[in-house]
Structure 1
Amino acid sequence: MLQKAVRVLAILMVAVMWHVGAQAAGSYNTVRVGALEARGDFEVRREAAPAEYTRSGRHKTITLDELERSGELRQQALSRHGGISGVPLSAGIGRTVNATRNQKLFGQLLDWETMQDGSSLAAISFVSPGAVGNRLILRVLSIDPKAVFVFRDGHDQLIHQVTGLEVLDAVTAGGKQDRLFAGPYIDGETSTLEVFLPAGVSPDTVRLAVPALSHIFISPHDEELNSKVGESSSCQIDVACKPEWNDVSRGIAKMLYSDTRDGYSYTCTGNLMNDTLNSATPYFLTANHCISTQDDASTLQTFWFYKSTSCNSQDASSSLKVLYGGATLLDTSIDTDSTLLKLNDAPPAGVQYLGWSTSLPAYGTSVGSVHHPSGDVQKISTGGIYGFSDCQIISDEGDFSCFDSSAISSNHMQVKWSSGVTEAGSSGAGLFQSINGSQYLVGQLHGGLSSCAAPSRTDYYGSFGVAFENGLSTWLDPEPVDASRSPVYRFYNANSGSHFFTSDAGERSFVIANYPSYVYEGIAFYAYKKALPDLDSVYRFYNFNTGAHFYTINQAERDYVIASFDSYAYEGDAWYASSGDTENATPLYRFYNTRTATHFYTADPRERDYVIATFPSYVYEGIGYYAWLTE
């Protein structure tokens, strides 16, 4: 049973006003946090844009065969109203691009141009006939961190750009090995990928492929809602008709994400969450059956303020903002069908960080849910709690079954609607209870049976309180210290044949800018930057003889190196990790290279096995210590 009840009030980013207080409300222990202003203009990315240039237009265009089933797939996806299966709304199908499926073929199609300033540019366009939109799936084997990927639509309009550094971080986050990266959603049949290299960076450093694209058949943001008629059912209620839900609406986003392995794309609904420190960290709650892996989280795009301009208007709000940067997976659970992410981009100004409560609503409590049914603009459903369930997954496809349960042993709530229903695309939407005039999130949508034909049938929401106790509290109710994990970045030094690791993003940037022999390989693992209970220092040395760094968590080994080897300069604590196996940690394997007299470390057992089988000069020394694959 829950040990405490916690409520966190929303942050509305409109005014500077701090107020923190505790107030008893029945059996609740309440924490409330006042508003916080978002300063400055909305900005999605911060990468340096390439210099002004005029592309010659001599790039290649790859046109795929027409996909005859596109319209059929769209109708099938939109017809999936109701049904207890916990599945996201399918929005796109994967298509193989044979012409660029590997590095060699892709490279042969690039026609590099040299600009007046010495920079280089190459481009290639892709056409998937009949697509409402598309996303390119890139395989990034290597790229210079200073490179810039530029994505344009069929009208040559800039949609998004991202640096090689950001791409490398994305394809290595969470221990990823497939090196796949999903480009941004682009409206229409055509997308163009430009690769921009600053002066001094050779095209030989570009090792890419585009093995697939996602052919999107449901647009995530139609500006004219006439095209949306019929996509969500007729009984849905426009949230713009319910001004009392406006604050909650500003914390809800439509999601688009892609499976980079097969190119399929999906939409769900997510919620921007406040924490007890009022930190404005962009925690984002959705369903486990929507996103449950770092691979999927890295492809996430979120669409904010996607709603009609006024009650039942046929025009979408011009306030729409899109975040392209993906997210970091923090916690996921099939028991409560919950996933907590941290968005990699700051949310736009005007969003609402949503309040939440760990207390289980009583039978008969009035509740509401703001969601994006069938990928439509925001709708609002209202109803009540009519029971409690223990729900379990019963198939690999996400089907689940629920059995009536007492409130104390339940992991889901049963909800019946008096107004509106839910549909595919609504998955992950928060369930809100009004407490003393404010809305608090108490659950997230798993699935159910409601439909316009049967609005009184039951929907099931995972219990936020159970999810909180099972893991979400680590982030949403943290101790007032910086206890978060940070990435440890990995470089390969081509001159010394050794690897360099740093947890300092500033040092990473300095190395990239000043040491061309250091090849940036992305995120190796995660560790802590500050000392915490049950953690140990990882000590760092620099060996003047080899030009390589040495890392150890063993204090006795540190002292021995200091006392015995004058060529090793002690540089202090690098980061903090665990000497022994601990929850959610992963072993960091250590090798000694007899040829270069340097050490190598990896958290990937497949890389460990490959090194053991392939490189006899690498002596395996076992587990050095334990680190983590996620924040």
Structure 2
Amino acid sequence: MRRDKNFWNLGWAGKASLALALMAGLAPGWAQSAGVVSDGLKVGAHTQPLNTPEEFVKLKRSAISPVVPALVDLGEWGGLKSQDLHGGNGAFQVAAKRQSAASSSVIATNKLLKWQASASGGEIAAISFESADAFGLRLGVQIDSLPGSALLRVYAQGRRDEAFEIAGQRVLQTLEANLKAGDDSAEGRTWWTPGADGEELTLEIELPAGTPGSLVQISVPSIVHVYHDLSLPLESDVTPNTGKAEVIGNSGACNLDSTCYEEYRSQRDAVARMVYITPAGGYLCTGTLLNDKSSSGTPYFVTANHCISSQTVASTLQTFWFFRTPTCNARTLSSATKTLQNGATLLYTSVSPDATLLRLNDTPPAGAVFAGWDASAQRANASVVALHHPAGDLQKISFGAISTTSTCGPVDVTVMCAPMNDMSGDYYRVKWSQGTTQGGSSGSGLFVGGYLTATLSSGTATCSNRAGHDDYARFDRVYPAMKPWLNPVIDTGAGTGTGGTGDGKRAAVYRFYNTQTGAHFYTANAGERDYVIGNYPAFQYENVAFYAYPAATTDQSPIFRFFNTKTGAHFYTANAAERDYVISEYPVFKYEGPVWFAQTQTGNSSVPIYRFFNTKTGAHFYTVNAAERDFVIAAYPVFKYEGPVYYVWTTQ
């Protein structure tokens, strides 16, 4: 059976167009906000610049030696599909969990991991999972121990060159977020891989030289089996002679293609399709990227509580951007579509009003819009527009008006609402004149005059029930709780007011591992990162290590960098006295100046960065991850632990 490749969109979108500017020390500019009303209750939209660097870039490396994976065949899946939710009431289930007895424990998985020598002098092993008749798979990798410099690749057999690649330290960051949120269960220790279309998915692990396979202690007790065909043909896959591909989409016939309405371009570019995993299986919802008052570019993302209500579920999130047709009613998927694979951080959630605020762990793609919002009350009969992904379909648009308000409460996994006779309820009740909503539309935004004013919670509207209604959680009722992020009070004297994060946007600090020397290299300069990737194959790219400020801000201290001209390693310190001592006493260390700014004391949601000294090579190693810190202490006695040295952040 043919499986298109764009449901999970394992293709990469890394661009190096900023390299020269960044190497010259220039920071990317932000597109201008549409404006802020003086009372702070209305914020305009903001567009992600075209030169925005992305974390997961396509690596130009020499061919990796092929690996023969161990095979785990789960056979046919005998489960029944969960009932499809065709109204706006509830998330849309698209996948179920299957248990894998062959890899259910560390001992069983270790037997499957047949370690062999890699081309880089380390070790490599892989496991392939098959589930008959699946439209797609994701693997639940439960991690007991994982080296931070391990590279994990996820791909379908025959498409290894399209593999999603992530460093162990980045995976550990995800699991530490779950633990900090209070989840020390097996589910909290599970990293859910990105997916691929089809009945098979391979997990490959490569270790650097000097790191034995015995240090990898993982299991794969369950997988997610996608039973709804969510694959859609790209416009480039359409045969020119026919002009059209197969009929696509699972949503009702009365839904309207959002691409046909250019006047809503800004709003539609803020909306993403969501796929995430709960203990019950895989689900679809819709969410909206939100701007903040300072247009900082921080990826705040709003959806419904009944979609995502815990950090562990937020960590599984994938978001699909520009998931719509390339032209009006084209019936194909735009080739501009992009997927973010790395989950989100849960900031706020409320059962009623039914709303959740997340911060995406990845940078939204260039051209994505941070939607404007209006935290004032809306009037009855106000005209409204909704943008959403019903049943996970290509983006749709609906037109209607607010009829009244309602009061709602949760019942099991759904939300039940009753109308009010006035505008005092916590939900807007909406009647549609064109279009509708379905399962999968949940969490999507309601716009009045171009500003987000509510998120979809519940409803009875369908294509066959034109008298039905939908209930949207009012943004003005949840805004006070979200205000610390969307409109923080900044104390210009201290630099960090109530809920504030300082005077600027944090920048990603990228991490490399030198496979020849065993030393790590860190840079906050995306141009330098791309230069290293392109010109130094011995440097293994390990994704974002942490976040810091790219320029001087109130209450932040410079981090100084040195280059050891004898060993090629770099040294970093926040201590000016230590900097001066190195300059004075160690001429072999070339001083390279401040490279980013961080805190020397705890606070402001920062985390410590731990430092080690390699007594064998003289190099230093830095990590923000407590699990990696403990792993290094236990596994590498040559590394002398020196404790926390300054404080950074794990998110933007």
Instruction: Give the alignment's TM-score, normalised by structure 2.
Output: 0.67
Question: Greater shift after overlay, 127-136 or 351-360?
Answer: 351-360
Matches within 5 A, 1:492-531: none
Q: 2:362 maps to what in 1?
A: 344
Q: C-alpha separation between the residues in 2 aligned to 1:463 and 1:32?
A: 15
CA shift, 1:317, in A, is 2.3
Q: 1:235 maps to what in 2?
A: 254
Q: 2:487 maps to what in 1?
A: 473
Q: C-alpha separation between the residues in 2 aligned to 1:214 and 1:24?
A: 43
> Which of the numbers 457, 462, 468 marks the counterpart of 2:469?
457
Q: C-alpha separation between the residues in 2 aligned to 1:144 and 1:627?
A: 18
C-alpha contact 1:448 1:459 (8 A) present in aligned 2 = yes
Shift of the 105–605 alpha-carbon distance from structure 1 to 2, 3 Å rule, reads: closer
Q: 1:13 maps to what in 2?
A: none
Q: 1:325 maps to what in 2?
A: 341
CA shift, 1:203, in A, is 4.0
Q: 2:172 maps to what in 1?
A: 171
- Per-residue CA shift, 1:493-545, capped at 9, x if unaligned? xxxxxxx9x99899x9x9xxxxxxxxxx999999989998899999xxxxxxx
> Which of the numbers 213, 230, 246 marks the counterpart of 1:204?
213
In the alignment, structure 1 residue 421 sits paired with structure 2 residue 436: yes
In the alignment, structure 1 residue 193 sits paired with structure 2 residue 195: no
CA shift, 1:431, in A, is 1.0
Q: C-alpha separation between the residues in 1 aligned to 2:551 and 2:648?
A: 14
Which residue type is aligned with residue 328 of structure 1? A
CA shift, 1:106, in A, is 1.4
Matches within 5 A, 1:404-443: 404=420, 407=423, 410-434=425-449, 439-443=450-454
In the alignment, structure 1 residue 248 sits paired with structure 2 residue 267: yes
CA shift, 1:362, in A, is 1.9
CA shift, 1:472, in A, is 3.1
- Per-residue CA shift, 1:98-134, capped at 9, x if unaligned? 1112222212112333355535432221111121111
CA shift, 1:422, in A, is 1.2
In the alignment, structure 1 residue 377 sits paired with structure 2 residue 394: yes
- Per-residue CA shift, 1:606-626, capped at 9, x if unaligned? 99xxxxxxxxxxxxxxxx999
Shift of the 30–348 alpha-carbon distance from structure 1 to 2, 3 Å rule, reads: closer
> Which of the numbers 66, 72, 78 marks the counterpart of 1:55?
66
Which residue type is aligned with residue 458 of structure 2? G
Q: C-alpha separation between the residues in 2 aligned to 1:445 and 1:159?
A: 39
CA shift, 1:390, in A, is 4.9
CA shift, 1:97, in A, is 1.0
Q: C-alpha separation between the residues in 2 aligned to 1:424 and 1:484?
A: 36
C-alpha contact 1:300 1:327 (8 A) present in aligned 2 = yes
In the alignment, structure 1 residue 157 sits paired with structure 2 residue 173: no
CA shift, 1:371, in A, is 0.6
List alignment gaps of at least 5 residues for structure 2. 1-27, 180-187, 234-244, 491-498, 514-519, 533-541, 560-570, 578-593, 610-622, 629-644
Which residue type is aligned with residue 325 of structure 1? Q
C-alpha contact 2:37 2:43 (8 A) present in aligned 1 = no
Shift of the 462–161 alpha-carbon distance from structure 1 to 2, 3 Å rule, reads: farther
C-alpha contact 2:385 2:397 (8 A) present in aligned 1 = yes
Q: C-alpha separation between the residues in 2 aligned to 1:252 and 1:479?
A: 25
C-alpha contact 2:288 2:303 (8 A) present in aligned 1 = yes
List alignment gaps of at least 5 residues for structure 1. 1-15, 492-499, 511-520, 539-548, 559-572, 589-601, 608-623
C-alpha contact 2:33 2:45 (8 A) present in aligned 1 = yes
CA shift, 1:151, in A, is 1.8
Matches within 5 A, 1:281-320: 281-313=298-330, 315-320=331-336
CA shift, 1:292, in A, is 3.0
C-alpha contact 1:535 1:576 (8 A) present in aligned 2 = yes
Shift of the 250–535 alpha-carbon distance from structure 1 to 2, 3 Å rule, reads: closer
> Which of the numbers 504, 510, 535 marks the counterpart of 1:482?
504
Shift of the 325–402 alpha-carbon distance from structure 1 to 2, 3 Å rule, reads: same
Q: C-alpha separation between the residues in 1 aligned to 2:574 and 2:326?
A: 58
Shift of the 294–441 alpha-carbon distance from structure 1 to 2, 3 Å rule, reads: same
C-alpha contact 1:22 1:30 (8 A) present in aligned 2 = no
Q: 1:621 maps to what in 2?
A: none
Q: C-alpha separation between the residues in 2 aligned to 1:249 and 1:401?
A: 27
Which residue type is aligned with residue 428 of structure 1? G
- Per-residue CA shift, 1:75-111, capped at 9, x if unaligned? x2x344244xxx3211111111111122222121123
> Which of the numbers 102, 106, 109 marks the counterpart of 1:103?
106
C-alpha contact 1:387 1:414 (8 A) present in aligned 2 = yes
C-alpha contact 1:287 1:445 (8 A) present in aligned 2 = yes
Structure 2 SS opposite 1:432: strand
Q: 2:247 maps to what in 1?
A: 226
Identity %: 28
- Per-residue CA shift, 1:422-441, capped at 9, x if unaligned? 1110012111112xxxx222
- Per-residue CA shift, 1:1-53, capped at 9, x if unaligned? xxxxxxxxxxxxxxx9988689898999876577664149x967226465314
C-alpha contact 1:80 1:423 (8 A) present in aligned 2 = yes
C-alpha contact 2:55 2:544 (8 A) present in aligned 1 = no
Which residue type is aligned with residue 303 of structure 1? F
Q: C-alpha separation between the residues in 1 aligned to 2:293 and 2:114?
A: 53
C-alpha contact 1:99 1:105 (8 A) present in aligned 2 = yes
Which residue type is aligned with residue 473 of structure 2? Y
Q: C-alpha separation between the residues in 1 aligned to 2:63 and 2:189?
A: 30
CA shift, 1:442, in A, is 1.8
